[in-house]
Amino acid sequence: MGSVAAFVPPLALPYISVFISVLAILMIAPVIMMYLTWLERKVIARIQDRIGPNRVGPFGLLQPIADGIKMVLKEDIIPAEADKVLHTIAPVVVVALSMTLFAIIPFGRNMAAADMNIGILFFMAVSSVEVIPVFVAGWASRNKFSMIGAMRAVAQVVSYEVPLAISLVTVVMAVGSLSLTKIVEAQSGWGGMHWHIFTPWGLLAFILFFITGTAEVNRTPFDTLEAESEVVAGFHTEYSGMKFALFQMAEFLSAFAICGMAVSLFLGGWNGPFLPSWIWFFAKTYTLFLVMIWLRGTFPRLRIDQLMNFAWKFLIPMTLVNIVAAALCLAVTPVISWPIATVLLIGAWMFFSTRELSTGGSIPSPSLVTDRG
């Protein structure tokens, strides 16, 4: 910036650097998103014993571009009775919010766009606001299925906000700061053994954060609300063309942001030997995203009541117990506290996972199904 600084009044310099970093992230984010969709399609295909897109360009690498062009050229149908303004605004706002999440993620050493000292609160705030455009989309469509889908989406996201936030609290306790860059720096050194995932409370918090993050972005196995076979297509039933593509874009961006957060909070962020810091960050984040894709290809969907019970009756009690365990581990020396914490957490897991979680109807017995007569 030395050469530019000579031409620019010094007062404007921080604003110019802010503008450049925002522009850089807004340029990179869609490209990341496009190739995340490519990765997902290929990996899911392999899990399902097929190949995935391989016609458009080598290994189907130009497929996302072809998809983008197709989406732009599709007719944008807004139902006659829908609220046109809200119908159009909702997907745009969702994407803008998902991109805003990228502001605090530390992509590398000194590479976070904004080193806020309330980074984690910012993350919680933005991901909480994301649910509003989803509801607006369902409402504006003026379609019963969209309404049901939108309200269930709100109920789901809102129920999973609580364990998400509480599992973050343990990391904040350990580091004593809400700033993501400080949290990543606190995990440096000692050959990676300071990563939060290598503590009993950190491991559980990571698992809980990852599961709740997957539920927050409405990915399988929690995507009852937007999967094609459920409630028609949930809140985006009446969306076609580019607006639909914008919703998908927001989902992938949010999923990537959740993986980025999990890496920064629990897996040591950009820490790593030899290679540049941002390579480590992206390697870890893509690995976590591969795990998300793996979950999608493996698990069946949860029913809405199973999903809600899972949040309120398992995840929230587990996160509360985790706070107690983390507080114990941080106040008392590890030699004594870690075994106690581990026993406490395993005991709590065993207890809560055996509570009655799903209340819905009876499953027909196998003898009725295998009638070969």
Q: Residue 129 or 279: which CB sits closer to another protein? A: 129
Candidates 47-55, 172-180, 201-209, 222-230: pick the segment binding another protein (CB under 8 A): 172-180
Q: What is the DSSP string of 281-348?
A: HHHHHHHHHHHHHHHHHHSPPPPHHHHHHIIIIIIHHHHHHHHHHHHHHHHS-HHHHHHHHHHHHHHH
Quote the CA–CA distance of 95 and 137 in Å, as a whole number. 13
Residue 173 binds another protein, judged by CB under 8 A: yes
- Binders of another protein among residues 267 to 326 (CB under 8 A) are 304-305, 308-309, 312-313, 316-317, 320, 323-324
User: Among 63, 159, 218, 264, which residue sits at the site for another protein (rule: CB under 8 A)?
Assistant: 159
Residues 6+ apart with CB under 8 A from 195: 187, 202, 266, 267, 268, 271
Rounded (5°) CA angle 270-276-277: 10
Report how far residue 311's alpha carbon sits from residue 185's, in angstroms, rounded to the nearest whole number: 31
Among 8, 31, 92, 275, binds another protein (CB under 8 A): 92
Distance, in Å, from the CA atom of 271 to the CA atom of 268, rounded to the nearest integer, reads 6
66, 207, 291, 327: which one binds another protein (CB under 8 A): 327
Residue of 237, 271, 285, 322 that binds another protein (CB under 8 A) = 237
Q: Does 178 bind another protein (CB under 8 A)?
A: yes
Comparison of 262 and 316: residue with beta carbon closer to another protein = 316
Distance CA 214, CA 227 (A): 14
Contacting residue, 49, 81, 228, 371, with another protein by CB under 8 A: 81
Is 106:284 a contact under the CB 8 Å cutoff?
no
The secondary structure element, H or E, covering residue 67 is helix 63-73
Q: Which is nearer to another protein, 156 or 277 (CB)?
A: 156
Token pair 């897109």 is found at: 53
Decide if residue 359 touches another protein (CB under 8 A): yes
Site stretch for another protein (CB under 8 A), options 79-87, 206-214, 294-302, 342-350: 79-87
Kindly state the smallest distance separating residue 246's Cβ from another protein, in Å.
6
By CB under 8 A, residue 21 contacts another protein: yes
Distance of closest approach, residue 308 Cβ to another protein, in angstroms = 5
Tell whether residue 371 is a contact of another protein (CB under 8 A): no
Burial of 7 (0-12, 13-18, 19+ CB in 10 A): exposed
Minimum gap (Å) between residue 214 Cβ and another protein: 19
84 is a contact residue toward another protein (CB under 8 A): no
How is residue 105 annotated by DSSP? -
Would you count residue 330 as binding another protein (CB under 8 A)? yes
Residue 18, interface with another protein (CB under 8 A)?
Answer: yes
> Which residues, numbered 101-120, are part of the site for another protein (CB under 8 A)?
102-103, 113-114, 116, 120
Structure tokens at 347: 């005991």
Residue of 67, 130, 216, 238 that binds another protein (CB under 8 A): 238
Dist CA 317 CA 327 (whole Å):
16
Least separation, in Å, of the C-beta of 328 and another protein? 7
Q: How big is the site for another protein, counted in residues (CB under 8 A)? A: 94
> What minimum distance in Å lies between the beta carbon of 146 and another protein?
7
Kindly calculate the radius of gyration of the chain based on its CA atoms and give it in whole angstroms. 22
